[in-house]
Structure 1
Amino acid sequence: MRKAIPAALVTVLAAQLLTGCARTARSADTGADLADSRIPEKVPAGTAIAVGAPETEVALRLSGQIGKLPFKVKWVRMSGGPQCSEAFRAGELDVCSAAEIPSVHARWTGLDTRLVAAEFRKDPERNPVYELGIAPGVDVDTLKDLRGKRIAYSPGQAQGALVLRVLAKAGLSEKDVELVELPSTGDVYPTALGSRQVDVAPLGGVNIKRFTAKYGKDGAKTVKHGLRDDPAHLWVPAESVRDPGKAAAIREFVRFWARALIWVDEHPEEWIEGYYVKDQGLSREDGEYLVEASGETSIPADWDPVIERHQETVDLLAEKTGNEPFDAETLYDRRYETVAADAVADTARDGEQDS
């Protein structure tokens, strides 16, 4: 039932592929087979792309790498599914940072996109992205206790998919709870919990810390869900990677993105001060909490396990939303499969040679 209401060194998960050949990348029904399109070795002069990856922009600036990008960049201060999908449709964005759900939702709404990079948390059980916020006075200690509760739900976003996965793990369906549709932006969920508009909501980032600090004295708490919730991607419109020049620029951006992750993991103090404090306006204490909570980052060189997990999510969402299931492989452009992991390995080797 729904109620509508207005880090240390990046590690490589899998061994590097020894061949330079691209893996097969099957396209969506709406596009050509990208695997047959060779990406130019060099970015053509004058190539420009628009990028919505605010954290990467700051990391590249702080690390002194931003001026080395071999193409022109228009930085757009946005990330995540809803904003980026609209910018893709308008032809105003070529690259976006997003979780795994926006690309699935985009497919069902007719937007042809691809994933060109993937990252995860090295220890997702110890460092989950989200925890379930429990409103003051609500009796929830285990997932089974969610029965009959009002749960904040944001369709088409990572938090919404997590709610469905949590219910499935608990052996519950949407009919066993009341899904309250609320946007997951800003402090909407903590506020809804504090005011008892909902009983349960997935909280992420500094909201976990702030929610318990503000409402803990009244009995509020968080409960860990025990599921992997950490997939993060670089997401692009298929039109951009069909363009040879942009495809080459996006490949280079993936490399710089991976190097930026390494830099952030190796320079936590600079990251806290430069990003969390100066860019985001958070306190140093909040920044330290977020660095500790996120842990180390891992970049897979082999996307097979990534796609297999993504397929499980596609199938679950299709079942729960009534949309048609599809092959998750079609969301990925496997020409980019080892690009980020290769950049990680190259950076590590360069560091060893310099030491």
Structure 2
Amino acid sequence: MPESTLTTIAATLSAALLLTSCTGATQSTVTGKELSDEKIPAAVSPDTTLTVGAPQLKVALELSGQIDKLPFTVEWANISGGPKCSEAFRAGALDVCSAAEIPSINAHWTGLDTKLVAAKFRKEPFRHPVYELGIAPGAGIRTLADLRGKKIAYSPGQAQGALVLRILERAGLTQEDVQLVELASTDDVYPTALGNGQVDAAPIGDVNVKRYLTKYGRTGGTTIKHGLRDDPEHLWALTDSVGDGQKSAAVRELITFWARAQIWIDKHPKEWVDGYYVKDQGLSREDGAYLVERNGHPDIPADWSGAIRRQQQTIDLLAKKQNREPFTADILFDRRYESVAAEALAGDGNGEGKTP
């Protein structure tokens, strides 16, 4: 991306941060613009531009030789995940982003109108969750029931925060039965908090599981499996973007390339480890191979009914536990795109799974 574009995005993100800081956490707003009757053009103009925050997708398209085949212009923003993408959406500096399930829910509650336009899960048999519950040395936690009275790292606006609430519910505990310690889950914050005894338990994901056990396992650091599915991944779009005729067509094309990229990654693990985890992310080949094994195979459903049910369960839980107004999950999904990814794979001779 040109330096001038990066500078513009950085400036608009700063403005968005200021705006976000002035928005109350319990702000009641109306979002969920209905787009089902708006037709997506059959073809996209090559003059159309989308700004996309999906660094992993960019690398996958480069490695697979597909990036130059996009039939429109993409300005790649080196951001992903809920907080940064929300800021960019508010600033009008982003059209599409890669994120999990929680950001779109929080966006609705803070008046940011967005849509989920693609969905991916980890195909069953579900071998590994994204997160395991890290246990601090000496915490004395062997089962979920042992969390009673313990200090647990908690990030309300992130996937890890919702997972903590789901874990407590599964264990038959309430927030009053534990001590929730608010910490932003970035980089190695949670593993460090576990290691120094700041918290007794914290959800830690993927390569941090391996690193935590390597560093603290000898002194008693462990992890326990929570037994819950925590694997949704989405392409997440600003409603104003998918409400625009040409941009809506560009998003459709982006989804087809995104779906094919997921299959390419799955079928080329060695190239993905070398090109993404090692060269782009700076990890060791050992860590890259560990992540490929944990991630399993992609499930890209043609029917979003299961995904919407799961999203509704999360909305209802967060509304109850965080004193929010419940709403219908359907308004977060732009179902005009529901079959796009699966149809792209079917056309390439790839099957797609069904998500429960």
TM-score > 0.5 by shorter chain:
yes
Name the SS of the counterpart of 2:36 in structure 1.
Answer: helix
Deviation, 1:30, is: 3.5
CA RMSD, Structure 1 to Structure 2 (Å): 1.3
- Aligned ranges 1:176-195 → 2 under 5 Å: 176-195=177-196
- 1:208 is aligned to 209
- 1:228 is aligned to 229
**CA distance in structure 2 between the aligned counterparts of 1:124 and 1:193, rounded to whole angstroms:** 30
Q: How many corresponding residue pairs?
A: 323
- 2:172 is aligned to 171
Deviation, 1:29, is: 4.4
Q: CA deviation digits over 1:224-265, x for unaligned, max 9? A: 000010011000110000001110001000000000001000
- 1:309 is aligned to 310
Deviation, 1:45, is: 3.3
- 2:108 is aligned to 107
Q: CA deviation digits over 1:263-303, x for unaligned, max 9? A: 00000000000000000000000000000011111001001
**CA distance in structure 2 between the aligned counterparts of 1:143 and 1:31, rounded to whole angstroms:** 37
**CA distance in structure 2 between the aligned counterparts of 1:305 and 1:190, rounded to whole angstroms:** 32
- 1:345 is aligned to 346
- 2:354 is aligned to none
Amino acid at match of 1:146: L
Deviation, 1:126, is: 1.5
- Aligned ranges 1:52-91 → 2 under 5 Å: 52-91=53-92
- 2:137 is aligned to 136
- 2:197 is aligned to 196
- 1:95 is aligned to 96
In the alignment, is the contact (CA less than 8 A) between 1:124 and 1:229 conserved in 2?
no
Structure of higher RCO (CA pairs closer than 8 Å, 6+ residues apart): 1
Single out whichever of 37-46 and 279-288 deviates more from structure 2.
Answer: 37-46
- Cα–Cα, structure 1 residues 157 and 32, in superposed 2: closer, same or farther, change >3 Å? closer
Amino acid at match of 1:314: I
- Aligned ranges 1:248-263 → 2 under 5 Å: 248-263=249-264
Single out whichever of 212-221 and 119-128 deviates more from structure 2.
Answer: 119-128
Name the SS of the counterpart of 1:212 in structure 2.
Answer: helix
Name the SS of the counterpart of 1:35 in structure 2.
Answer: coil
**CA distance in structure 2 between the aligned counterparts of 1:123 and 1:208, rounded to whole angstroms:** 21
Deviation, 1:182, is: 0.5
Amino acid at match of 1:293: R
Given the two structures, how large is their TM-score scaled by the length of structure 2?
A: 0.89
- 2:52 is aligned to 51
- 2:6 is aligned to none
In the alignment, is the contact (CA less than 8 A) between 1:124 and 1:228 conserved in 2?
no
- Cα–Cα, structure 1 residues 304 and 182, in superposed 2: closer, same or farther, change >3 Å? same
Q: How high is the sequence identity, in percent, across the aligned residues?
A: 65
Single out whichever of 283-292 and 37-46 deviates more from structure 2.
Answer: 37-46
- 1:17 is aligned to none
Deviating above 2 A after TM superposition, structure 1's stretches of 4 or more consecutive aligned residues are 28-33
Deviation, 1:215, is: 0.3
- Cα–Cα, structure 1 residues 124 and 208, in superposed 2: closer, same or farther, change >3 Å? farther
Name the SS of the counterpart of 1:119 in structure 2.
Answer: strand
**CA distance in structure 2 between the aligned counterparts of 1:31 and 1:116, rounded to whole angstroms:** 13
- 1:3 is aligned to none
Deviation, 1:125, is: 3.8
- Cα–Cα, structure 1 residues 189 and 124, in superposed 2: closer, same or farther, change >3 Å? farther
Which sections of structure 2, spanning at least 5 residues, go unmatched? 1-28, 352-356
